[in-house]
Structure 1
Amino acid sequence: MTSVSVAPGQLQIGDLVHARGREWIVLAKPSDGLLRVRPLSGSEDDAILIAPKLERQPVHEASFALPNSDQLDTQDAARLLTDALRLSLRRGAGPFRSAAHLGVEPRAYQLVPLLMALRLEVKRMLIADDVGIGKTIEAGMILREMLDRGEIDSFTVLCPPHLVDQWVGELAQKFDIDSVAVTSARARSLEQGIALGDTIFGVHPFTVVSLDYIKADSRREGFAQACPKFVIVDEAHSCVGGSEKGTQQRFSLLQRLVEDEARHMLLLTATPHSGNQDAYARLLSLLHPDLLRAPDTLDANALERYRRRLAQHFVQRRRPDIADQWGEGRSFAEPMKADAPYSLTGDFQAFQEDVLEYCLGVATRADGAQARRLAFWGTLALMRCVGSSPAAALSALRNRLSGMAEEALLGPILFDDDDDEFADTDIEPATAGDSEEIAELRQLISKAEGLNSRFADDPKFRELVAQVKDLTGKKEARPVIFCRFIATAEAVGEALRSRFKSHTVEVVTGRLTPEERRERVEALEDHPNRILVATDCLSEGINLQSLFNAVVHYDLNWNPTRHQQRDGRVDRFGQQAERVWSVMMFGANSIIDGAVIKVITEKMKRIQKETGVVVPVPEDSSSVSNALMQAMLLHSSKPRAQGMFDFGDAEAKLETQWRNAQENAHKSQTRYAQTALKPEEVLPEWHKLRDLLGGPDEVERFTRRALARLDVPLGQQGLHWRVRYDDMPQQLREKLAARGLRGTRIIGFRDKLPPDVAQVGRTHPLVATLAGTMAEGALDPNGVEGKATLGRTGVWMTRGVDKLTVLLALRLRFKLVTSGRRTLLAEEATGIAFGPQSNQPIAMGAEALALLEHEATRSIEPPANQRQIDLALARHADFQPAIAAYAAQRAAALSHDHERVKAATRGEGITTTVEPVLPADIIGLYVLVPEAN
């Protein structure tokens, strides 16, 4: 490299500088006295801040060194270098800055929230797509775009505690963002070493925070003051629901955050409207104060203004919308739903009647309305355990013997409430009232012990075995079996292990910490024949679509949204199987299952069919419990039970409440659906940019060639490839191991891969590490080891040209200036080719780089090859006008692309100018000599 002295204040974004004994690219100027720079041969991870006035040696302007004839290499090295350069760049010049960082190929419909966000000065949005459509991807794309445009430099994700690790993983894998988890268990260690007066959020700019940790009264105000300007709130509905203290604290926190009118906030939920109009209004009020209350429906003008305001901030699509209106049916597996009824017999059937008879006796003796309600709730909770399994019944009866029921604990268990601290309560509850008959209770415990000792004879378990045999056999599926209680899951797992000895059966329950749950699930990746038994601690928090493609509901859900969440763990965007199965088991003659089907399940199916959305159980728990008790007593075979209590018109009241909830949800969906934006208007720009950066074909080509050069070639594995991470050179092996890549894995480069095949795209750690290493191996050979070094020049003969051709591999740098407020660096890898006599190019861009793909017929021996390189280098100055003109042409084309996206998003007042930074960097120089036929 060469360098000339320059005053640091004159340095601009995109300039090359020499400091600390090496060359750097100026990425940004955070202040007059600071420069953010990246090593010329390094990656974004190597960027640092320097203060030129404080450097021991003066900071100089530098120029990029030309290749020379001492750096000769082969055609394969030339191909590797140009592909590595393209795949390693992370600062694209196109209108979607985030494209270079994405580890997922978004579908057209997933661009809608991003386009909506681009038209908002302050990004406040409610993304309420169905479970499994890809809300995390949609929010992550907005976040990544904001970071890459330089509009934000920090963010936080607020989510329930069981989702923290999932968010950290998703941000790293799909968006190339390393974030820090902030939970009650980790906060103390994060705070150690922080300077007095600083905070976790001042030291760590990218955080994922547990809502239950940060909502506390003692932390809320401090967090609000230190909170970044960009916030994502996952499961936002859990912050606006009922009157529980936890919900109130969460809503108070979010209210405090929205007081800063410049703060961007993305709210994510699959259930924006639970039927509670007040909760829905609170949720919308976080987007804009005007949305707190809908206007009187008689005022058409006011209603239209409200609708337009909401349409700016609210997007909600159902699965059928995606498949039908967007033509994206292939993005999802075909759902195969089935019921699996079974019939209780003998002692297993009689036991339910015995327990119900006992509970009714307790309820009869209850004194007062509150005691009677607690007795009813205790009955339902106990009967739910009895219907789950003999193991859960035994545990619940023992708990009843040793502890009194608490109403606050029974509610979440009964109705699968996931809005507060009891989200993971899969433990069998205490259900005792104050009028127990201990002798009778001990007799029931004895009966439960007997049934549990014959667990494999339970008709319910026998039906499960039949279903699992069908799924794992004919359908070659990998099932997740969801149970409501820990005791059931553990008993089912143990019994399945004895029946399916060729399979690995794992059990995950609330006994494990979130980290342990994740570890157990991920360990199953090494076992193709896998069965997972889990409680609802996994119905949220860990996506299972890469390992499983079937769900068996061993226990009925009492909350329809939980049923949807279970299925959504495997039936979601990214599921590679063509079909996913969902099997719902229920006892055809079960007292409790019959009541649930009549009161809850059938109504849920009807509402979903009519509206296309799942509406949670109405929040009036008394109406629900009364209707369930009434239905359960009617299912009993004992006349005494049927006539014991008069619940009046409990089922009719519940029906009215559910109808109201359905109507509210339906109105919100149809009136405010977001349909204005047309992503097809900008898809050409998106695809054009992804092609420039490198699509699946380029990624596969580069990966195969790079690993072959390193003597660890990919092995054929059917239609896919086998990569051996442990055989990599030491430098690469250590870098990949730090990203969790070890052993041998099967990979593919397209979407819709089988569940056991990992999709490898341009930001996958394997590709990113190889590309960075190969690029560095050319620009700084001393920084890498062995065959990762690449020469920057080459000469060969080929039939792909008809005259001597000089091909230059270029790195173009651009300055993007947005509305005169912000200057960003952008880069593009490309090429330009010249003939033997003229200094006018004969090919540019992809057409020029394609010349490298024509196979060499033979090499040219020294010193002739060195002479050809020297002759081409002598024309360097003559090439510069054409290179500059091409850079200006690319800048004009990119400016046009920005304008097209601006027009498609109806953006106003936002302009982007693109200016080339010259001279362009000549990364490689290759001479192609025509081979005579």
Structure 2
Amino acid sequence: MPDSPAFSPGSLIHARGRDWVVEPDSKPDFLHLRPLAGTADESAWIVTALEREAPVTANFPLPNPECRGNWSEMRLLQDAMLMRLRSGAGPFRSFGNIAVEPRVYQLVPLMMALRQEVTRLLIADDVGVGKTIEAGLIVRELMDRGEVARFSVLCPPNLVDQWQEELQRRFNIRATAVTSSTVKNLERQVPPGRSFFDHFPVTIISLDYIKSDAHRHSFLSAAPECLIVDEAHTCTSVGQGIQQRFRLLKELAADHNRHLILLTATPHSGIDSGFYNLLGLLNPEFTSLQDAGQQQRKTLRERLARYLLQRKRADITKWQQDQSLFPTRLSSEATYQLTGAWGTFFDEVQDYCIKMAESHRDNRMIWYATLALLRCISSSPASAVSALNERLNGVPATDAEQAITSELTGDEGDDEIAADRETPALADAGEESVLRGLMAKAQSLYGPQNDPKLKALIAGLKPLIQDGFSPIVFCQFISTANYVGQYLRKAFKTCHVQVVTGNLAPSEREEAVAALTADPRRILVATNCLSEGINLQKGFNAVVHYDLAWNPSRHEQREGRVDRYGQTSPTVKCLMLYGLDNPVDGFILKVILRKAKAIQDQLGIKVPIPENEKAITDALIRAALLKRRDSHSKAEQLMFDGFEEVDKMMDKAWKAATERAARTIFAQQPMRPEDVEPEFRRQQELIGSTKDLQRFMISAAVFLGAPLEPDNNSTWTINIANLPAALRTRLEEHKLSGKIRFSFQPVSGVLELTRTHPLTSGLADYIAERALDRNEVGRAAAVKVASGITEKTTVFSLRLRYCLTYTFNQKTHDLMAEELLTLIRTGSGPLHIATAEENKFLRELKPGGNIVDAAAQRFVNAALDEWKDDISTFAALIHERAEVLKSDHDRIRAAARQKAGSVSVKALMPPDLLSVCILMPAL
């Protein structure tokens, strides 16, 4: 067999009965091919010497002048090719592969990542700003630049499924979920002798699974070159499980060539050592900030600014001058009093707690137990019964200390501690009759007629439901959540009420929330298992704090589930319930929550609860044992006998915490809007915006015989059954059939259609393949009369291919890139690249009538002769375009302050002529 010809990257060849494009990583005898009329998923490698028929050079079919189409069909073909673009030629390689139109502020972390030879970032933006999108943009860009082939997301187990969905839906990345429940099945898929993490290049890994000694070592030996760590603050504080997490991350970060992206909305959870451990993952030198002298601290702070991004919503809104970025949060309070039987019951329990505490003055555990018991009693009759029952059964008092400490520091983990884990051991048998009597009284208080807190909740929910809001009611205990759900079902019979607690596995929680979201009238009752990391903005727009959280960050995390990027409701409502004459509520509200809010308003940052938990719990215990005052004034009812002394005790702790927090405010690297926004707009022009997507879908559906059905809520419906059979078969592989309702913008309960969604890509692929298949007559030539022009205008639409060569850290790699380009000749003027104004004119053009066939065919033939005879003119413009792209890359590198490496852009000839259209002025 004779030697096969050498095919250069970007050239067209014919093999196996179809046309292909040669990819840059091909070898002379081992070709990596992507189908010319097909998708990247159909790419193939071939050994030329083993092919039955040797590959030969192919030519892209020219438009057929004898079978002319109309302008709308040509516009549709161009839009289909635009929607198919994945490997864009612009400086942001990833934009063709993402299904989200990022906000300009979300590009700042990407720009910061591009500044670094190895990405090390701590993204500590406010809750709900979009840290997942920011991290996804970075890893997608690193992958599309060829710098990363494998990466893992390490996150709490309840976030594994969410990360998997987000990567697939928004970034077109298929990831494998690795948890204790999935790993056995996955191991069976790994070939013998191959590493688990080599076989699955993108993984979402439960921190609780991977942190153990049994799994940590295997991961360390085969860990990928890039890591995202979500809720990173949960890995660097105290506790056995947290120490295991931190040891794993520290060993992973020790490889200085590994990209590391840390995500958290609460970088400082109140423990200085945990915060500086977190910074040390970026660079071990940063751990010395805690004890550094003035000059060293100044130097280290300046360096840290290149690794740390911490922005408040107000910063972002001011920067973008867009008040609609986030919803308006409206907060209110609802109060209740411990009156009647509830008040008598509370007083009796408090008397019991005081007696128990005084009889064991030297046993600190008992003091914790009294506080824990009152916490449960204050939550609900159900949690009271559970706690008192466990008091009878004798749960160790040390559990109460751990529960209270964890709640104050915000380190409760993924699931809440049930009420029955916060009670002390039974002191003596003489207490049994007292406890059984208290349990009987608690059981008699079930329901809104006897429970003033539940009654206040129902009263607060009624106006929310009437105004069309979908609320989440957050409770502290599982027993309380089940109790609240039971009575809300009775009070709101037209609403679907769902309870989600830590008793459900993460996947079951997700299924329960998804089923609830499908109902138009819904109420979600949840414990803190849904208060962190979970995205709930698409189904809910109100939050009720049924139980006050003892840590201010927990309130923000709860509200951040709905008040976040992507919330479609312009307003989010938050309601906080508390007891006017409940001493525990009074302490938490006045001494912790309101002080934290006042300090945040003053400093502009969230200040963690004071680090000295002993001082806090001492103050809490003293407050819990204070007797209620009989007063009609709300202000007075929040004060109790001896409260002033407790309040004064806490002022000193808050002052120290404020001083520490002030030291953690670090300067940010300046990133001006004018450095980012123009590049974002240019990139939109290259790959298409949401408006381009909408135009394509409307036109494509009509062309294929399944016109969209609009409704009054910015949503559309397409009937898949009306599409061609071959296309239906493709879509059914993605479980798309029947009538599908969608929107081009986020709408609660409706599919958000993006350029990478299988429905969009399916229609685009089908239309492009029909037009470009050499065995089918194309409709890529047209001659039309058009208003708005004064001379004959010839429009050439091209698909260009480039080879982008990245040189970085003494390494070079080539990547293929594509883009669409429009060339225009007006009258006898020079051929030129269409300006932004000309492209806008062509997008909005609505041509008029036709001209006679003979003249139309003559015009098309003349344009095609120009293409064939004057290719040098076209080539010069294409190379000019390559230089423009090179300058775009250089400008981004300059804005990102990339000093090392370079990028070159080489146009691969010949280009593909997709269509030619001649527009004639109206007579």
* Deviation for aligned residue 1:138: 1.3
1:773 correspondence with 2:761: no
Q: SS of the counterpart of 2:420?
A: coil
Q: SS of the counterpart of 1:925?
A: strand
1:785-815: CA deviation from partner (whole Å, max 9, x where unpaired): xxxx973333444445555544322101111
1:565 correspondence with 2:560: no
Contact 1:19 1:58 in 2 (8 A): yes
* Match for residue 546 of structure 1 among 513, 528, 538: 538
Structure-1 residue corresponding to 2:438 = 444
Q: What amino acid is the match of 1:791?
A: R
CA distance in 2, matches of 1:458, 1:250: 42
Structure-2 residue corresponding to 1:786 = none
CA distance in 2, matches of 1:737, 1:471: 40
Structure-1 residue corresponding to 2:637 = none
* Deviation for aligned residue 1:166: 1.1
1:615-639: CA deviation from partner (whole Å, max 9, x where unpaired): 333454433222111011124469x
* Deviation for aligned residue 1:654: 4.7
Structure-2 residue corresponding to 1:459 = 452
Structure-2 residue corresponding to 1:522 = 514
* Deviation for aligned residue 1:761: 3.7
CA distance in 2, matches of 1:460, 1:539: 21
* Deviation for aligned residue 1:718: 2.0
CA distance in 2, matches of 1:250, 1:414: 19
Contact 1:548 1:570 in 2 (8 A): yes
1:295-351: CA deviation from partner (whole Å, max 9, x where unpaired): 766543x23321221111111112222223442432111111111112221111222
1:86-140: CA deviation from partner (whole Å, max 9, x where unpaired): 1210111111112222322222322221111111001111111111111111111
1:878 correspondence with 2:869: yes
Q: SS of the counterpart of 1:556?
A: coil
Structure-2 residue corresponding to 1:289 = 284
1:382 correspondence with 2:373: yes
* Match for residue 805 of structure 2 among 802, 817, 835: 817
* Deviation for aligned residue 1:554: 0.9
Contact 2:158 2:414 in 1 (8 A): no
Deviates more, 1:498-507 or 1:546-555: 498-507
Q: SS of the counterpart of 2:444?
A: helix
CA distance in 2, matches of 1:416, 1:296: 28
Q: SS of the counterpart of 1:890?
A: helix
* Deviation for aligned residue 1:719: 5.3
Structure-2 residue corresponding to 1:913 = 904
Structure-2 residue corresponding to 1:95 = 91
CA distance in 1, matches of 2:918, 2:815: 34
CA distance in 1, matches of 2:74, 2:249: 54
Structure-2 residue corresponding to 1:682 = 676
1:900 correspondence with 2:895: no
* Deviation for aligned residue 1:739: 5.3
Contact 2:32 2:44 in 1 (8 A): yes
Q: What amino acid is the match of 1:766?
A: L
1:485 correspondence with 2:477: yes
Structure-2 residue corresponding to 1:712 = 706
- Alpha-carbon spacing, 1:458–1:836, altered in 2? closer, same or farther (3 Å): same
- Alpha-carbon spacing, 1:23–1:846, altered in 2? closer, same or farther (3 Å): farther
- Alpha-carbon spacing, 1:5–1:931, altered in 2? closer, same or farther (3 Å): farther
Structure-2 residue corresponding to 1:578 = 570
Contact 1:841 1:882 in 2 (8 A): no
Q: SS of the counterpart of 1:66?
A: coil
Q: SS of the counterpart of 2:58?
A: strand
CA distance in 2, matches of 1:344, 1:713: 62
CA distance in 1, matches of 2:675, 2:833: 32
* Match for residue 506 of structure 1 among 490, 498, 501: 498
Contact 2:706 2:718 in 1 (8 A): yes
Structure-2 residue corresponding to 1:615 = 607
Q: SS of the counterpart of 1:830?
A: strand
Q: SS of the counterpart of 2:34?
A: strand
Q: What amino acid is the match of 1:577?
A: S
Q: What amino acid is the match of 1:626?
A: D
CA distance in 1, matches of 2:138, 2:784: 46
Q: What amino acid is the match of 2:300?
A: Y
1:566-620: CA deviation from partner (whole Å, max 9, x where unpaired): 0000111111221111111111112331232244223322332222333333454
After TM superposition, list the pairs within 5 Å mapping 1:28-427 onto structure 2: 28-29=24-25, 34-69=30-65, 72-242=68-238, 244-294=239-289, 298-300=293-295, 302-366=296-360, 369=362, 372-405=363-396, 407-408=398-399, 411-412=402-403, 415-416=406-407, 422-427=413-418
- Alpha-carbon spacing, 1:621–1:790, altered in 2? closer, same or farther (3 Å): farther
CA distance in 1, matches of 2:731, 2:652: 58
CA distance in 2, matches of 1:782, 1:526: 46
Q: SS of the counterpart of 1:577?
A: coil
- Alpha-carbon spacing, 1:54–1:357, altered in 2? closer, same or farther (3 Å): farther
1:695-733: CA deviation from partner (whole Å, max 9, x where unpaired): 122111111111222333222322513223554535555
Q: What amino acid is the match of 1:265?
A: L
* Deviation for aligned residue 1:646: 12
1:161-191: CA deviation from partner (whole Å, max 9, x where unpaired): 1111111111122222121111111111111
Q: SS of the counterpart of 2:267?
A: coil
- Alpha-carbon spacing, 1:419–1:631, altered in 2? closer, same or farther (3 Å): closer
* Match for residue 464 of structure 2 among 465, 471, 489: 471
Contact 2:326 2:563 in 1 (8 A): yes
Q: SS of the counterpart of 1:111?
A: helix
CA distance in 1, matches of 2:255, 2:603: 36
Q: SS of the counterpart of 1:384?
A: helix
Q: What amino acid is the match of 1:548?
A: F
1:519-566: CA deviation from partner (whole Å, max 9, x where unpaired): 222223432222222111111242111121111111100121111110
- Alpha-carbon spacing, 1:344–1:650, altered in 2? closer, same or farther (3 Å): closer
Q: SS of the counterpart of 1:451?
A: coil
Q: What amino acid is the match of 2:12?
A: L
Contact 2:473 2:525 in 1 (8 A): yes
- Alpha-carbon spacing, 1:610–1:798, altered in 2? closer, same or farther (3 Å): closer
Q: Which runs of 5+ in 2 are unaligned?
A: 631-640
Contact 1:808 1:831 in 2 (8 A): yes
Contact 2:501 2:527 in 1 (8 A): yes
Structure-2 residue corresponding to 1:703 = 697
CA distance in 2, matches of 1:741, 1:623: 59
CA distance in 1, matches of 2:758, 2:457: 40
Q: SS of the counterpart of 1:330?
A: coil
CA distance in 2, matches of 1:586, 1:870: 81
Q: Which runs of 5+ in 1 are unaligned?
A: 639-644, 784-788
1:648-671: CA deviation from partner (whole Å, max 9, x where unpaired): 9876565434432322222111xx
Q: What amino acid is the match of 2:112?
A: M
Normalised to the residue count of structure 2, the TM-score between the two structures is: 0.91
The percent of aligned pairs where both chains have the same amino acid is: 41
CA distance in 2, matches of 1:909, 1:744: 52
CA distance in 2, matches of 1:745, 1:29: 40
CA distance in 1, matches of 2:726, 2:372: 57
After TM superposition, list the pairs within 5 Å mapping 1:531-930 onto structure 2: 531-636=523-628, 654-669=650-665, 672-718=666-712, 720-724=714-718, 726-727=720-721, 729=723, 732=727, 747-749=742-744, 755=748, 759-780=752-773, 791-799=779-787, 801-819=789-807, 821-834=812-825, 840-841=831-832, 847=838, 850-851=841-842, 853-859=844-850, 869-928=860-919, 930=920
Structure-2 residue corresponding to 1:642 = none
Contact 2:822 2:833 in 1 (8 A): no
Q: SS of the counterpart of 2:208?
A: helix
